[in-house]
Amino acid sequence: MANLVIDTGNTFTKIAVFEHDKLVSITKVAQLNEEDLKAIVQKHAIKKLIYASVKQDFDFKLAIPVLKFNHQTKIPIQNRYQTPETLGLDRLAAVIGASHLYKSTDILVIDAGTCITYDFINKQQEYKGGSISPGLQMRFKAMHAFTGKLPLVTLGENTDIFYGVSTNEALQSGVINGLIFEVSGYIQHYLNLNPETKIILCGGDASFFDTRLKNSIFAHQILTEPDLVLIGLNKVVNYQHD
């Protein structure tokens, strides 16, 4: 049995096909197209569809059941967030995916995208909440937008500098090293609470942090699951029929 999972974020949309819980294909698009979706449904004999979106509704006419993921959807974990209606659906899906993959353990999910989110789910499958921080590109853009003279810079080729010898390098150093210290601090905090906590990286900038953190003292406890949100959404649509 095949599921179609659609996750629309701030930058692009991911379209994933799961067959018997196995991820078989992912497509990234700038905008959804009804004809393309119909072709995928037919090609993979899709039986169920789930979608989550931060910015648009799903109004395509497809001859299969469609589940809109929101805070009222039945989920396989306990959500302890006090304002579930304001919780980002990607955050919720990520911890569901983490709990599905790594049962009976505390997990810190770090989703490095437009923002960086830190979300904790315990071994009892209780989602406790988390933290939201500006991501890499947002920090670069903010320093340019809210000052009179600072230029807009990007990561550049040399991302291993600790201090800059020019304004561009100083901006790069501040953002990159500041985020590394921030992420490392969160990891250390949760490991102090429980040394067996698993740390899972996902999101568009996960690979950037993965290479740096895996050279750190946390290396043996850091896992990278770039498709964690999709895995969580697939678990949710299957859970409706469990």
Residue numbers annotated as active site: 90
B/e letters for 166-205, b = 16+ CB within 10 Å, e = fewer, are: eeeeebbbebbbebeeebbebbeebbeeeeebbbbbbbbb
Q: For 75-79, which contacts have Cβ atoms below 8 Å and span 24 or more sequence positions?
A: 75/236, 75/239, 76/100, 76/125, 76/235, 76/236, 76/239, 76/242, 77/121, 77/125, 77/126, 77/127, 78/124, 78/125, 78/126, 78/127, 79/127
Distance, CA of 180 to CA of 23 (rounded, Å):
31
Structure tokens at 62: 């497809």
